[in-house]
Amino acid sequence: MLVLSFIGLIVFMGFGFIVSGIARSDNTIPPLANLITLPQFLIGGTFFSVSVFPVWLQWIAKIMPLTHLNEALRDVAFEGKSLWDVRMEITILLIWGLVIYAGAIKVFKWE
């Protein structure tokens, strides 16, 4: 679970870099951060099972990285699966990481 948490930390830290790169002032950071995090929390299977959502919303949820992190953590914690068993979720998270950091490199500037 520690490895999965670290992968999740790295991926979601990339979202933070993108938000900080896009935001022009300190006042615009919270709305931008909420625009990214709130849909993930509500649709990503954190509070509710993705299977109870309509089919079109399940499709959107399956795209989000938090859904895959939640599924991997639950499988390891409750089902006793190994990291090899959740390799598909890890692969999707790593792909998200590559995409997010590619975007972060484009928008993030040290100032």
Total domains in the fold of the chain: 1
Q: What is the pLDDT of residues 55-104, one digit of tens each?
A: 999 999 999 999 999 999 999 999 999 999 999 999 999 999 999 999 99
Comparing CA positions, the residue from 58, 89, 57 lying closest to residue 73 is 89
Q: What is the 3-state secondary structure (H, E, C) of 61-104?
A: HHHCHHHHHHHHHHHHHHHCCCCCCCHHHHHHHHHHHHHHHHHH
pLDDT digits (tens, 9 = 90+) for 4-48: 999 999 999 999 999 989 988 889 999 999 999 999 999 998 888
What does pTM read for this prediction? 0.89
What residues make up the domain containing 90?
2-106
**Is 111 domain-assigned?**
no
pLDDT tens profile 54-67: 999 999 999 999 99
